[in-house]
Amino acid sequence: MYSRAYKTLITAPPLLWVGLFLLLPYLLMFAHSFWLVRDGFLVHEWNLQNYHKLIANPLYVEVLLRTMRIAASVTLLSVFLGYPLAYYLSFHAGARKELLYQLVIVPLWVSYLVRGYAWKTILGSDGVLNGFLQYLHITHEPVGALLYSPFAVIVMLTHIYTPFVFLPIYASLEHIPRPLVEASHDLGANRLTTFLRVILPLSMPGLLAGATFAFVLSLGDFLAPLLVGGPSGTMIANIVQSLFGAAYDWPLGAAISVCILLITITLLSLTERFEKRWSFK
Amino acid sequence: MANAHSATSGASGVLLAVRGVAKRFGDKEVLKSLSLDIAPGEFITLLGESGSGKTTLLRLIAGFEQPSSGEIWMNGDRLDIQPAHRRRVNTVFQQYALFPHLSVRDNVAYGLRVKKTPKIEVGGRVDQALKMVKMNEFADAKPTRLSGGQQQRVALARALVNRPQLLLLDEPLSALDANLRKQMQSELKSLQREVGITFLFVTHDQEEAMALSDRIALLRNGALEQVAAPREIYARPATAYTAQFIGQTNLLKASVKAGIATCGSLKWPTSASDGSTLFSLRPEAIQLASDVLPVSARWVRFRGTIQQQIYGGASEQLEIECGAGQPLRARIPSRAALGRDQEFSFSADEVVQVKS
């Protein structure tokens, strides 16, 4: 069919790209995690000291656990917001479907930073939400805990990732042949039973894909905690950032990155297995 | 309307009564005040071209659509106000609509399970239903692994296992190839006799309708054209449309005067009243005059020229020019080549007066 030269030519750029910008950095990171810093200089001496520090220091474990808690909360919240939205759009929106779909997508075009600062003005001490609460006399002084807390991080990340969860769920709902829903009603199932026994199982691949998006992206996020997290909202990526920056401990930063990578890979392979079980093509 | 119905609802012999049902989608009137009675145990076919409203009527009975006006009654109860899942009606869908995430067994068990049938009963009834359609060997397979014909059988079992009072079939054979279709037709017919459930069958294929049905309801533009048994609808079509849609025919526009109809050079006795009238004459009613022995006054003879002769195995189709305004189509038993000029004959009893 195609000549060998042509095949080589066409596969070289992507291979080069993956090798240079993906595999090589990962390899370097992996190597760094087994080196150490002595007197402010990076020393290429193989050791397990970084991993030992990581386990021994409760700070890292605590932040890692907090990060996973935040990522899990964001995932749950975006699924609980994104699924009903996708369901409504796919099954009941009728003629308004296109418009509503665009409304869900539009926020994705707005810069991440702009959305972050928007949440700052909403959640701050003299922000919109506090003003509103006082106006309603629910509180008499500003609630400080709204901003600079894990809560603020969860709110902001949920806002940002809900469209990412919505999209694959919506796609999988749109792919369910409508006669299946009619067949379920025809066989005596009401709406709830039809949802639980037909629609939910058939949209599972989309739900899993969306949830994985939200979890993995939240896990590695460092801008949201930086903007609205405060000290109590610090996440693991902030620690990595400071280790690679001001603290100048690349080996420890690399070791933490390897841990995050391992968690992500484990999760991805798990969801892939689930997705296989739930796909019927 | 309700009073008029309560007079008939108690009467036996009506399972489903469609009373003045109309359906509009926006400005488009898909069904125009249609009424139809269906007897228990009968195999009735809704026959019509696409867009005739046959599938819409089926969906109204199943509960997937609501009538714009009119009522549907089943066994003396209002059916159209019940949600689809409460109706004792089941549907075999055109593309089968089997649940892809469930095995064949779980597909068939679905209806029983959602209605909380006791577990012990479910197993037995599912096995029995799968045996009935000869699919028990495939109980654990996923539907996507099955051929079209096999999926069809599973869809039938899934519907019948619920013992519905009425089974709706929406062009269930249209996705199958010709041979399998013929086979499934005869299986469907014997299955219906076996279970004794009323079948409402939707098709656009008039041969299929003829082969399967006790009665055919012919739909045209959202209204019933004629409802009759296959033999009757073929032999006595009420309208020109029916005569042309079911089988082939020659439509003769004749003027009637004093019991004699005249169409060009053709003349035949008729009981129709004076005036201009349409008649239908089936191709097989026209014979070679030499083949017709009892020549009575009811037999009409005419001379014609064979313009075309198409061999079709057991029969031959002829196109005869005889000065009737249009060539007549005739179907005669096969024979050796004929001379161009022949004498033909048909019985006046075979010429049916039809409405235009």
The ipTM, to two decimals, is 0.85
Distance CA A262, CA A256 (A): 10
User: B144 to chain A: which residues are within 8 Å by CB?
Assistant: 280-281
Provide the pLDDT for residue B290: 79
Can you give the CATH number for the domain in which A206 is found?
1.10.3720.10
Q: What is the CA radius of gyration of chain A?
A: 23
Distance CA A247, CA A253 (A): 10
Distance CA B148, CA B177 (A): 9
Question: Model-level pTM?
Answer: 0.84
Distance CA A225, CA A214 (A): 16
> From the CA of B47, how many Å to the nearest CA of chain A?
22
Q: With respect to residue A181, please indicate whether it lies within any of the assigned structural domains.
A: yes
Q: What is the pLDDT along chain B (356 residues), one digit of tens a residue?
A: 344 443 344 445 899 999 999 999 999 999 999 999 999 999 999 999 999 999 999 999 999 999 999 999 999 899 999 999 999 999 999 999 999 999 999 999 999 999 999 999 999 999 999 999 999 999 999 999 999 889 999 999 999 999 999 999 999 988 888 888 888 898 899 999 989 999 999 999 999 999 999 999 999 999 999 999 999 999 999 999 999 999 999 999 999 998 899 998 888 999 888 999 999 999 999 988 877 766 677 888 899 999 988 888 888 899 999 888 889 999 998 877 778 888 899 998 999 999 98
Which tokens in the block code for residue B212? 């399967």
Residue A43 pairs in a beta bridge with A36
- As to burial, measured by CB atoms within 10 angstroms (0-12 exposed, 13-18 middle, 19+ buried), residue A5 is exposed
> From the CA of B93, how many Å to the nearest CA of chain A?
8
Structural contact between residues B58 and B168, judged by C-beta atoms closer than 8 angstroms: yes
Which tokens in the block code for residue A272? 């892939």
Residue B341 pairs in a beta bridge with B305
User: A201 to chain B: which residues are within 8 Å by CB?
Assistant: 101
Provide the pLDDT for residue B1: 37
Secondary-structure class of domain B16-237 per CATH: alpha beta
Distance CA A88, CA A97 (A): 9
Interface test with B, best of A185, A186, A277 (most B CBs within 10 A): A186
The predicted-structure confidence for B2-30, as pLDDT tens digits, reads as follows 444 433 444 458 999 999 999 999 999 99
Helix axis angle for A250-278 and A49-56, nearest 10°, is 80
Walk across the sheet containing B69-74 and list its strands. B28-38, B16-25, B69-74, B77-78
Q: With respect to residue A37, please indicate whether it lies within any of the assigned structural domains.
A: no
- As to burial, measured by CB atoms within 10 angstroms (0-12 exposed, 13-18 middle, 19+ buried), residue A251 is buried
- Cβ contact, residue pair B93, A182, below 8 Å: yes
Least CA distance to B64: which residue of chain A? A182
| Element housing A182 (H / E) | helix A178-186
As a residue count, chain B comes to 356
Burial A125-164 (b: 16+ CB within 10 A, else e): eebebbeebeeeeeeeebeeebbbbbbbbbbbbbbbbbbb
Pairing of strands B275-281, B69-74: unpaired
Q: Average pLDDT per run of 10 along chain A, which is 281 residues long? A: 86 93 93 89 89 90 94 97 96 90 89 88 82 82 80 94 95 95 96 96 94 94 90 90 89 93 93 79 52
- Cβ contact, residue pair B101, A182, below 8 Å: no
Provide the pLDDT for residue A281: 52
CB pairs under 8 A between A and B: 70
Pick from A189, A201, A281: CB nearest B85: A189
Alpha-carbon torsion (A172, A178, A179, A182), positive or negative: positive
Provide the pLDDT for residue A23: 94
Whether CATH 2.170.190.11 fits B248-354: no
Provide the pLDDT for residue A179: 95
- Cβ contact, residue pair B91, A197, below 8 Å: no
User: Cβ contacts of residue A161 below 8 Å, gap of 6+?
Assistant: A74, A78, A213, A214, A217, A218
Q: How far is CA B80 from CA B65, B77, B114, B124, B300, in A?
A: 9, 9, 22, 32, 53
Q: With respect to residue A95, please indicate whether it lies within any of the assigned structural domains.
A: yes
Provide the pLDDT for residue B3: 41
Chain region(s) in chain B for CATH 2.40.50.140: 248-354
- Cβ contact, residue pair A280, B115, below 8 Å: no
Please give the tally of structural domains in chain A. Answer: 1
Least CA distance to A188: which residue of chain B? B85
> From the CA of A197, how many Å to the nearest CA of chain B?
9
Distance CA A1, CA B47 (A): 52
- Cβ contact, residue pair B115, A188, below 8 Å: yes
User: What is the identity of the amino acid at B85?
Assistant: H
Chain region(s) in chain B for CATH 3.40.50.300: 16-237
Q: With respect to residue A57, please indicate whether it lies within any of the assigned structural domains.
A: yes
| Element housing B158 (H / E) | helix B148-160
Structural contact between residues B200 and B169, judged by C-beta atoms closer than 8 angstroms: yes
Pick from B93, B114, B142: CB nearest A189: B114
Which tokens in the block code for residue B222? 């959202």
Question: What domain range is A202 assigned to?
Answer: 49-278
Q: With respect to residue A105, please indicate whether it lies within any of the assigned structural domains.
A: yes
CB atoms within 10 A of CB A16: 10
Distance CA A109, CA A147 (A): 25
User: What is the identity of the amino acid at A254?
Assistant: A
Q: With respect to residue A29, please indicate whether it lies within any of the assigned structural domains.
A: no
Distance CA B30, CA B241 (A): 19
Provide the pLDDT for residue A133: 83
Q: With respect to residue A12, please indicate whether it lies within any of the assigned structural domains.
A: no
- Cβ contact, residue pair B142, A280, below 8 Å: yes
